[in-house]
Amino acid sequence: MTFSAKADISLAAAHDLHALPLALPHSPACVPSRRRFLKGTASALLFSGMGSTLLAACGGNNAGSDQAPTPRLASLENFRDIGGTAAGYPTVDGRVVRRNAFFRSNALNENAADAAVLDSLAIAAVYDLRTPGEIARAADVLPANATYQKINVTGREDMMPPPLDSAAAAVASMERAQRLYVTDPVQREGFGKLLEQLAGTPGVQLIHSSAGKDRAGWAAALLLSIANVPFDIIMQDYLLSNAYSASSITARVEARRQTGGDLAADVERPMAGVQSSFLQASFDEVQASYGTMSGYLTRGLGLAQSTVDTLRDRLLL
């Protein structure tokens, strides 16, 4: 996906992306409407290049911010602040996402040194989005004093990779899984429950899945959408999983090469990381099924508008 350097709608029109009307996917107005929904939310902050500056360093440099950088954890590669880096991600209406409120991660199998760092963040609640099978193979090491809640968002007993014979089939499988976050009633119920818990639980909270890129990535994208962060930045944040988890992605692909050869490695590569088309598939499905993000949150996930408003208040400075 190529991000536009020019907005299709004004900042005033983009004030609340959740209310933008969207065309159905095969209607004549679909392409410009989708562009407005997905690309046109970027504010002047992004036009100036701030988006790339915010995300250029894997973890941020915090220049001009009085907040400490989010710690990089060697044993939890994909641990990061959903609010972003430096002063926090900008929104389309000129506000900033609060940092040190919501974190995301891969599974909490941290070493002792990283466990001590997690303890220092005063995390009050952990939400584990994995299946029972995944949890049985690798139970969490919880931060001190944190409550723990399992929300099996897929509803499956375990995550078993489907038989795939090409990289293209692997990409299609990942895109299909992303669409199911929006279309599958069990998964909508799971993500709705997660957002309700995030809104109703005080203190710092952490969301994780196995690799912290797909289920946790969609949860983070929803929170940033609720905060009215431009889609361009949401996408860049999503793709940061490839940078944060580069070493484990490489190891996973090479392990498959050793056991199955080059074709197996080619199939594994898109499964191990993320691509823009994956997240795009979810947002396209939101458009096709609900027209607006607001419709997906309220009608799809069953959230009360007051819950969405509470989350937005907690997300924004």
Classify residue 141 by burial, with Cβ atoms within 10 Å: 0-12, 13-18, 19+. Answer: middle
SS3 22: coil
Q: Using only the alpha carbons of the chain, give its radius of gyration.
A: 19
Question: Could you report the per-residue pLDDT of 62-83, keeping only the tens digit for each?
Answer: 333 567 889 999 999 999 999 9
Provide the pLDDT for residue 181. 98
pLDDT band at 85 (very low <50, low <70, confident <90, very high): confident
CA distances from 64 to 53, 61, 86 (A): 12, 9, 7
Q: Are 204 and 82 in contact (CB under 8 A)?
A: no
The two tokens of residue 163 are 């038989």
**Which DSSP symbol is given to 143?**
P
**What is the distance between the alpha carbons of residues 272 and 252, in angstroms, rounded to a whole number?**
7
Please say whether the beta carbons of 132 and 158 come within 8 A.
Answer: yes
What is the model's pLDDT at position 41?
36
pLDDT tier, 275 (very low <50, low <70, confident <90, very high otherwise): very high
Name the percent of the chain lying above pLDDT 70.
Answer: 79
Helix residue spans in the chain (DSSP H): 30-38, 44-47, 50-56, 112-120, 132-137, 167-183, 185-200, 215-226, 231-244, 246-272, 276-290, 293-295, 305-315
* Cα dihedral 140→144→148→153 (10° resolution): -50
From 23-27, 58-62, 155-159, 190-194, the region with the lowest mean pLDDT: 23-27
Dihedral in degrees, nearest 10, Cα atoms 193, 199, 204, 209: 20
State which fold the 17-315 domain adopts: Protein-Tyrosine Phosphatase; Chain A (3.90.190)
Indicate the DSSP class of residue 17. Answer: G
- DSSP class of residue 298 equals I
**Segment among 44-58, 72-86, 158-172 with least mean pLDDT:** 44-58
- What is the per-residue pLDDT across 242-255, written as a single tens digit (0 to 9) for each? 999 999 999 999 99
Give the C-alpha separation, 203 to 213, whole Å.
23
In the three-class reduction of DSSP (H, G, I as helix; E, B as strand; rest coil), residue 180 is classed as helix
Report CA torsion sign: 114, 140, 190, 26: positive
CA distance 176 to 110: 31
Asked if pLDDT for residue 102 goes beyond 90, the answer is yes
Contacts of 203 (CB under 8 A, 6+ apart): 122, 123, 124, 125
Does residue 229 sit in helix, strand or coil? coil
pLDDT tens digits for 117-146?
Answer: 999 999 999 999 999 999 999 999 999 999
Whether pLDDT at 281 is above 60? yes
Q: What is the pLDDT of residues 106-117, one digit of tens each?
A: 999 999 999 999
Q: Which of 225, 231, 236, 235 is CA-nearest to residue 293?
A: 225
Q: Give residue limits of the domains in the chain.
A: 17-315
State the pLDDT confidence band at 49, using cuts at 50, 70 and 90.
very low
Q: Which residues pair with 204 in a beta bridge?
A: 123
Instruction: For strands 80-81 and 123-128, give the pairing.
Output: unpaired
| Mean of the per-residue pLDDT values of the chain | 83
- The structure tokens listed for 278 are 């994956």
